[in-house]
Amino acid sequence: MANIEFKNVVKSYGDVNIIKGLDLSIKDKEFMVLVGPSGCGKSTTLRMIAGLEEITEGDLYIGERRVNNVHPKDRDVAMVFQSYALYPHMSVRENIAFGLRLRKMPKDEIDTLVDEAAKTLGMTHLLDRKPKALSGGQRQRVALGRAIVRKPSVFLFDEPLSNLDAELRVQMRAEIAKLQKRLAITSVYVTHDQVEAMTMGDRIAVLHDGNLRQVGTPLELYDTPANLFVAQFIGTPNMNVAKGQFTEDGTKAKMGPVEFPIPEKWKAVAKEHGGKEVYIGFRPEHTLPDDEHDWTNTATLEGKVDIVETLGHEVVVYVTIEGLEKRIIAKADVHKTPTPGDAMKVDVNLDNLHFFDGVTEESLLVKG
């Protein structure tokens, strides 16, 4: 069993607290993605699992074993980095075999493992080439091969795809996810790209500023974000957020110029928090021109089109709404593309609203 447990793990450099008491359980065979903005402590967390960073406080377990003081080479983990770090003068075969040779594994065993890995990664025909004769994606596959042949109990990935072009990234994303399922090895994958996180992870852990903000399946994070940070971090374009307030009796909410009845899901919450200042969140896909949907439960916002981004299959429209601090993002049918300067009425689907505490920014529904 290679589950990974962080128990109140703290990491500091001198007085600077980088990870501030992390509790996180990663299940055996799970694909866990750590996501968050640059500098939030993702690589540090991964490196603690690898044993490349000391743990300041708390406990880290891999399986049954507390590994705080276990040497990296005795942890049975393999790490794949953003830079592939291949040896340029060695062939692909030698690169993949390198770690095994250091361990003094017999040559025929090494050959079998390398051949098996090459087959898994579809690069048997590349084994005699040097890295400089490979594409970026092929080099990344060699780096994966090097990790696979070690048959570790845990795979660690630190932004392994960020050097690849967009198309290849999509392809490798799918390949790695498939490979992980096939090999059934517990994996922790770091990225700052929320699309990568959403498409690859069994579960996602969102880190911000050294704190775990939420952990859940991609859809849990999308449907029920626990706080404003996760709400705005997951999903493109970003969730719209406006300041608002529940009416004193808790039956309605006010948002800029509009007042609307509280949707079913939030009725009890609004009643409990009558008069409260809140943040109201609604995603662009739940914000459409008033004649382009068949929703029944909506609030209408009137404004002026600011920016129009045509993506081909849809249009993203930035609309300035009188009485709202920030312009909102709506989606529209590509065949009815508006023009900047147009007056526009957009409807918000009230069945997909989110309410957050106006002070703590925590969801009023999810207990973080």
Ligand X SMILES: Nc1ncnc2c1ncn2[C@@H]1O[C@H](COP(=O)(O)OP(=O)(O)OP(=O)(O)O)[C@@H](O)[C@H]1O
CA distance 188 to 141: 17
Contact pick of 38, 69, 296, 339 for ligand X (by CB under 6 A): 38
Number of Cα atoms under 13 Å in the Cβ half of residue 235: 22
Residue 71 tokens, joined: 């040497």
Position 13 contacts ligand X (CB under 6 A): yes
* CB of residue 122 to Mg ion, shortest distance in Å: 28
Position 83 contacts ligand X (CB under 6 A): no
Residue 18 contact among Mg ion, ligand X, none, beta carbon within 5 to 8 Å by kind = ligand X
Q: Which stretch binds Mg ion (CB under 5 A): 36-44, 141-149, 218-226, 322-330?
A: 36-44
Position 44 contacts Mg ion (CB under 5 A): no
Q: Name the β-bridge partners of 346.
A: 289, 301
Q: Which stretch binds ligand X (CB under 6 A): 39-47, 96-104, 319-327, 355-363?
A: 39-47
Range 176-205, binding ligand X (CB under 6 A) = 192
Contact pick of 2, 4, 44, 139 for ligand X (by CB under 6 A): 44
CA distance 260 to 12: 47
Closer residue to Mg ion in complex, CB, 190/242:
190
Contact pick of 30, 43, 179, 212 for Mg ion (by CB under 5 A): 43
Helix axes 166-183, 136-148, angle to 10 degrees: 20
Contact pick of 33, 42, 127, 287 for ligand X (by CB under 6 A): 42
Q: Name the β-bridge partners of 204.
A: 33, 216
Residue 349 contact among ligand X, Mg ion, none, beta carbon within 5 to 8 Å by kind = none
* CB of residue 42 to ligand X, shortest distance in Å: 4
Residue 140 contact among ligand X, Mg ion, none, beta carbon within 5 to 8 Å by kind = none
Q: 3-state SS of the chain: helix, strand, coil percent to 5?
A: 30, 35, 35
Is 256:322 a contact under the CB 8 Å cutoff? yes
Is 320:365 a contact under the CB 8 Å cutoff? no
Over the Cα atoms of the chain, what is R_g? 25
In the block, tokens 């002070």 appear at 359
Residue 4 tokens, joined: 């990974």
Q: Which residues bind ligand X (CB under 6 A)?
A: 13, 18, 36, 38-44, 192
Q: Which residues bind Mg ion (CB under 5 A)?
A: 43
